[in-house]
Amino acid sequence: MPAGDVDTKKISLFVTGGTGFFGRSLLRYLARMNDAAGSTPVSATVLSRSPARFLALYPEFADLPWLSFHTGDVLGDLSGFPEDQEFSHVFHAAADSTLGPRMAPLDRFEQIVAGTRNMLDLAVKTGSKRFLLTSSGGVYGPQPPGLERVPETFLGMPDPLSAHNVYGVAKRAAEHLCALYGETHGLTTVVARCFAFVGPDLPLDVHFAIGNFVRDALDRPEVVVNGNGSPLRSYLYQDDLAHWLMTLLTKGQGGEAYNVGSDEAISIADLAHLVRDLLAPGKPVRVRGVADDNAAARNRYVPNIDKARRDLALQVSTPLEKAIRLTAAGGGGNFAKQVAYE
């Protein structure tokens, strides 16, 4: 998706999660947008625990006139801004889907819910007009077998009595906080319910199946599917992701949620074979068939994106085959880099 066709006018953007997969996808998109404009219609301030380490690992983001960093985290005291600090928009994506599963459930709940409230308070304090929460398709809970693509109107949710469901339950709570701040403070809040993604910034050595398959095709003797390969997923390329999120941030209807992802389903086994065929023809694919109760609870994870198409003219612009090739060419978001600054 080419940058430059989002109605930005003049945006002063505060970004959390700016050093993760979503954040780097967004910053690359904004760089292209500003370059295409020949000016800086969007300036961005990124919250990071260690800006120096991030910039040492990703020097392409250093010395950009429209980009600055603020040291801190979503749970910290953000009173260090000048009294007259203003941000027109807040992009809140700082709930870690990469390393988050390693956190204790209570800590993860605190990061998502209390962190969202802290960012909403910042938005109110700095006079922001619009706030985008990157939520998750996990808020719907298990997708019923007869529901091919889950719409925003589906009111299912994960079992709140299971600690394993902390991510989806906490995201539901964060969404409700957005509704409360919209009613109380007049802040326009929009929710992006994000599904699965792929791109050069995706880590290849964590729990993302498509990243593992790309790694295996490039560097391992075989492509390994740990489960039985039956779950269905869909993948949106990171440039499309960034375009969708910026569109939601600037044009999404306040108080509404939008699914973000591709609606083109593929089984995990077929995905492994597709990655192999594109990147390493002839390499064996091994389906281990290891039982995974957690994966079984999410046998289908595919969004209905009719609302984004109808209301905001958003499209899946990058075919999966091309997205896989681009991901491999970019080398993936190196995991060693991730753990160095997250």
Is residue 188 a part of any domain in this protein? Answer: yes
Percentage of the chain surpassing pLDDT 90?
81
Residue 168 is part of which domain span? 11-199+235-262+302-317
pLDDT in tens, 32-50: 999 988 777 899 999 999 9
pLDDT at position 145? 87
Tokens of 247: 């569109």
How far apart are alpha carbons 338 and 322 in whole angstroms? Answer: 25
Is residue 136 a part of any domain in this protein? Answer: yes
Three-state DSSP at 42 gives strand
More confident residue, 99 or 60: 60
Annotated catalytic, 341?
A: no
CATH of the domain at 131: 3.40.50.720
The total number of structural domains that make up the chain? 1
Question: Which residue in the block uniquely carries the two structure tokens 């949106």?
Answer: 236
pLDDT in tens, 295-322: 555 699 999 999 999 999 999 999 999 9
Which one of 167, 235, 258, 341 is the catalytic residue?
Answer: 167
Is residue 279 a part of any domain in this protein? Answer: no
pTM score over 0.75: yes
Tokens of 139: 């808020």
| Burial classification of residue 297, based on how many CB atoms lie within 10 Å of its CB (0-12 exposed, 13-18 middle, 19 or more buried) | middle
Is residue 211 a part of any domain in this protein? Answer: no
